[in-house]
Amino acid sequence: MASGGAVDQNVDESSDSIHDFPCKPCSDDGKNIEGVNFCAECQTYFCQACIVHHNKCFKTHTLYKKSGIKSGKIQYQQQAAGLACDKHPGNPIQMYCGEHDDVCCAVCIAVDHKLCNSTDFIPKLAKEILNGRDRKGAKTSLEEMKEKLHAVKSSKLEQINEVSKEKEDLLLEIGKMKERIIARIEEIEQTSIKQVQDKHKGIVDKIKTDIESIDAKLRAIDDNIRKINEFKGDNEAKLFVVLNKAHEVEVGCGKYLENYGEVEYGKIAFEFSQGIELAISSVESFGITEDCHYAQSYIDSIVSAASLVGEFEVTDCSSCSIIDCCLLENGQFILADTKNNCLERFDKKYNLCDSCAISNLKSLCRVSPNELAVIDGNAVRFIHVGRSMMPTHSFTISSESNEIMSLCPKGSSYVSLTLSRIAFSDEKLYIVAFVKYYLPSKYQYSVVVLVCNIDGSIIRGISTDFEQDINAFSVSLDSSKMFFATPKRGIITLDNNGKVLSEFSEKRLNNVSCVIEGDRGQLIVCDNGSSAIFLVDSDGKTFGELLGTIDGISSPLSITYIKEQKRLIVTGNTRVMKIFQLT
C-alpha cells in the first residue's frame, strides 16, 4: 500500500546543484531535478512532477518520502528474477504497453508511455498476455526463420565465390590481352625498325656506290700524275698520248663535279601513325562494365575525327553502281560496278588503271594476292590480276547437291538456288545463297551460307532464319562471326554454326547496304536510305554517325576500310568515290 501523507513540496526543481538522489526519468531527459519520492517496486527516485504520472499507473506501489531517502534507510534491491531494461539498465522490466506491444520498465512508462491508456504491471497481466502465445511454437518459428536466414546467407556467400571467380577469370583475360597488345606493338616496332633500316641501307648503298666511283676517279688521277712524272725523253707522240689520257680523266672528273650538286639521296622520312596513340589515349580500359561508357567515348572520338582526303572519278560512263570493293596487297584496289558489269582497278593514288567486263556481276572478294572471286550470275568466277585483269576459270553449285538438299525441310522439292554474296576468310569461300523450295501447297524461301573450298566443293552449309534475301554480308577478321543486314531486322551477327549472337536496329538505319568490321571489333555500317555511315561498337549498344550528308555522303552502297592508313573508301550510285581519313 502507498503510504499516506503529502509529499514534501519544498523542492527547487530548477536548481543546478548536485543532488544526492536525482529523479531518474528527468535525468534520462537531461534535466537536473532532485528526487523527492522513492518507489520500492520500481526501485526508482521520482520528482514531484514524475510521481504524479507514476501514481496514476501504479496505485498499489509502495512510496517513500524524501526524509526516508535522506536517512539512508532505502537502498536499491537486487531483483531476484526478471530482465533489466535496455534503456534503463538499473531498472527491471515490469511493465507492458498494449498500444505499442512493448515490455519496459517503470521509467519507460513515466517517460515514453505516459499518454498511453493500456499500460499495466506485467505480473498482473502475464497470464492474459501469454494466452494464445505458444512458447514451443515461437521457438519453432524462430528456428525456421534461422534456417531460412542461413540459407540466404549461404546463397550470398556462393554469390561472393562466383563473382570472385569471375573477377579472377577477367583479370587473367586482361593479362592475356595486355600480352597480345604488347606482342602486337613489338611486331609493329620490328616492322618500323626494318622500314627505317631498309631505307637507311638504300640511301647508304647509293652513297657508297658514288664513293666507289670517286675512288676510281682518284685512282685514275693518281695513275695519270704518276705517268706524267715518269715520262722521260723527247718522244712527242708518246707524250701526246699521256697528256691526252690525263685530259680525258680531267674532263670526266669535271663533269662528275658539275653534276654533283644535282645528286639527291633523300632522307629517312618516317611519318608516324598518330592513330595508334590517339586510339590508346581515347580508350580508358580493355573493356566495359555495365556502368561504364568507354565504348561510347571511343565511338565519339572516332566520329569527331573523320576528315575528307579527296574525291576521285571512278568511271567514264554516264552512271554507275559501285556495290563492292577489295584491296590488293600492293595498295591497289578493285571496284565492282554492277550497273556496267565490270571490275575497275585503281592504283594507290586513286587513278583508274584498267577494267574487266563481267557478264552478270553481283559480288566481289579477294582470294589470293593476285586472284579475285566474283559472283557472275549463278557461277563463281575467278579473275587473275597481273598486268591486266583476266577471267580464268569458274564453278557452279548444283541446287540438287546433297549439301543443298540437307538444308531444306524434309519433303520439300523443286529446289532453286540463287547466289547473292561472296566473302573469303581462312582459306575458304563463304557464299550466300537464296534458296526457294516447294512444300505441299506453297513455296518457301530461306537464306543459307555455303562454306566452300576454292575448287567449289562444299565443306558445309549453314542455315539461317532469314526468310528474305539480304542487303549486306561480311565475315569477321578472325572468321568466327558473320554479319548480315536485312530490311526488317537490321544488323544480325551469327556464329559459324548459324546461331544468332546479336541483333541491332536503330531508327536511323533505313536501308543498310554494307557492313564491315573495323580493327577494334566495331562495325562500320553503310546506310543507303539515310545517306550516312555509322559506327556500332562490339557491345551492340553504342552507336554514332561517322559521316553524313553534311560530309557529302549521298546514297552510299559500299565502304572499304584501309587498316594501315586508317582510311575509308565510300562508293555508291555516283561517278565519284570519296576517301576519308580516320585518326
Q: Are residues 452 and 431 in contact, defined by beta-carbon separation less than 8 angstroms? A: yes
The pLDDT score that the predictor gives to residue 294 is: 43
What is the pLDDT confidence band of residue 74, given thresholds at 50, 70 and 90?
A: low
The pLDDT score that the predictor gives to residue 130 is: 61
The average pLDDT across 477-500 equals: 88
The pLDDT score that the predictor gives to residue 3 is: 38
The average pLDDT across 167-171 equals: 88
The average pLDDT across 308-314 equals: 90
Phi, psi of 224 (to 5 degrees): -70, -35
The average pLDDT across 168-181 equals: 87
Least confident of 267-276, 381-390, 425-434: 267-276
For the chain, percent of residues with pLDDT exceeding 90: 24
What is the pLDDT confidence band of residue 473, given thresholds at 50, 70 and 90?
A: very high
Pick from 124, 2, 123, 6: nearest CA to 62? 2
What is the pLDDT confidence band of residue 525, given thresholds at 50, 70 and 90?
A: very high
pLDDT in tens, 413-440: 767 889 999 999 988 999 999 888 877 7
The pLDDT score that the predictor gives to residue 41 is: 75
Give me the residue label for grid cell 572478294: 365
The pLDDT score that the predictor gives to residue 134 is: 63
- State yes or no: pLDDT of 10 exceeds 50: no
The pLDDT score that the predictor gives to residue 78 is: 37
The average pLDDT across 10-26 equals: 62
Angle at CA of residue 58, ends 53 and 62, nearest 5°: 110
Question: Pick the residue with more confidence: 398 or 130?
Answer: 398
DSSP state of 409: P
pLDDT in tens, 147-166: 999 999 998 999 999 889 98
Question: Pick the residue with more confidence: 56 or 433?
Answer: 433
Domain ranges of the chain: 24-131, 153-270, 275-286+293-313+481-494+501-583
Question: Pick the residue with more confidence: 278 or 124?
Answer: 124
What is the pLDDT confidence band of residue 393, given thresholds at 50, 70 and 90?
A: very high
The grid coordinates of residue 526 equal 553503310
The pLDDT score that the predictor gives to residue 236 is: 81
- State yes or no: pLDDT of 75 exceeds 80: no
- State yes or no: pLDDT of 292 exceeds 70: no
The average pLDDT across 511-516 equals: 92
Cut 0.75: pTM above it: no
Dihedral of the alpha carbons of 35, 38, 44, 45, in degrees to the nearest 10 = 0
The pLDDT score that the predictor gives to residue 277 is: 65
Strand locations in 330-489 (E): 333-337, 342-346, 352-357, 361-368, 371-376, 379-385, 389-396, 413-425, 428-439, 442-452, 458-463, 472-475, 481-486
The average pLDDT across 467-477 equals: 85
What is the pLDDT confidence band of residue 550, given thresholds at 50, 70 and 90?
A: confident
- State yes or no: pLDDT of 9 exceeds 60: no
How many CB atoms are located within 10 Å of the residue 358 CB? 23
What is the pLDDT confidence band of residue 344, given thresholds at 50, 70 and 90?
A: very high
The average pLDDT across 213-227 equals: 89
Question: Pick the residue with more confidence: 544 or 322?
Answer: 322
pLDDT in tens, 318-339: 889 999 999 988 889 999 999 9
pLDDT in tens, 87-143: 887 788 888 888 888 888 888 888 888 888 888 888 777 666 565 556 677 788 888
What is the pLDDT confidence band of residue 526, given thresholds at 50, 70 and 90?
A: very high
Burial profile 153-173: b = 16 or more Cβ within 10 angstroms, e = fewer: eeeeeeeeeeeeeeeeeeeee
Name residue 330's amino acid: N
The pLDDT score that the predictor gives to residue 91 is: 82
What is the pLDDT confidence band of residue 520, given thresholds at 50, 70 and 90?
A: confident
Question: Pick the residue with more confidence: 215 or 44?
Answer: 215
How many CB atoms are located within 10 Å of the residue 183 CB? 10
For the chain, percent of residues with pLDDT exceeding 70: 84
Least confident of 89-98, 160-169, 300-309, 397-406: 300-309
- State yes or no: pLDDT of 11 exceeds 60: no
The pLDDT score that the predictor gives to residue 229 is: 87
